[in-house]
């Protein structure tokens, strides 16, 4: 069923490697050669949630989309907590939904990978400003200030 749906997605060239056990899933993940991992809830010897938890405990960051034959809110929430990128019920998913889920999951990973560089650029700009500025958390519980602000005793520190 899943293989047939993937075959209907025409917007990408997709190659599928199919494994059916927890051990084979671990080996496929460790190889790192796939862009996205579709993980069935029912594996031969364990469940897919365990595989997702194991992968995330190994700092594996690629998207993992949980598929199941029968939807359950409890399993859906557990999949989210385990680190699944999405949770899809096989009888309710079509090729367009699967393609969108994969596309969104890939974009989320790309954005997460770009975030440290963006934060570093922001921190670098803030730290090298030639004017006195400060930034505060929304509640005002933490704040930082630029070096000119810190160096000047004439500029009062805002009350927290």
Q: Give the domain range for residue 99.
A: 2-118
59, part of any domain: yes
In this prediction the pTM is 0.70
145, part of any domain: no
Domain of 11, CATH number, reads 3.40.50.2300
Give the N- to C-terminal CA distance of the chain in Å, as an integer.
Answer: 58
CA gap 111, 105 in Å, rounded: 10
85, part of any domain: yes
| DSSP H helical ranges for the chain | 2-7, 22-31, 48-57, 73-82, 95-127, 147-151
- 86's enclosing H/E stretch is strand 86-89
Structural domain count of the chain: 1
pLDDT, tens digit, 9 for 90 and up, residues 132-152: 666 677 776 666 766 666 555
87, part of any domain: yes
pLDDT, tens digit, 9 for 90 and up, residues 59-106: 999 999 999 988 889 999 999 999 999 999 988 988 888 889 999 999
90, part of any domain: yes
């Amino acid at each position: 069923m899943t293989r047939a749906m993937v075959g209907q997605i025409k917007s990408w060239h997709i190659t599928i490697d199919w494994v059916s056990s927890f051990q084979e899933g671990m080996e496929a993940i460790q190889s790192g050669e796939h862009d996205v991992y579709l993980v069935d809830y029912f594996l031969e010897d364990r469940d897919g949630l365990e595989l997702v938890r194991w992968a995330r405990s190994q700092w594996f960051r690629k998207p993992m989309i949980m598929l199941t034959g029968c939807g359950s809110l409890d399993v859906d929430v557990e999949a989210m907590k385990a680190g699944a990128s999405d949770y899809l019920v096989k009888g309710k998913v079509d090729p367009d939904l699967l393609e969108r889920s994969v596309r969104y999951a890939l974009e989320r990973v790309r954005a997460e990978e770009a975030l440290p560089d963006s934060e570093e650029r922001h921190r670098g700009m803030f730290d090298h400003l030639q004017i006195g500025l400060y930034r505060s958390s929304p509640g005002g519980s933490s704040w930082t200030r630029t070096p000119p602000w810190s160096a000047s005793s004439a500029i009062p520190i805002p009350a927290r």
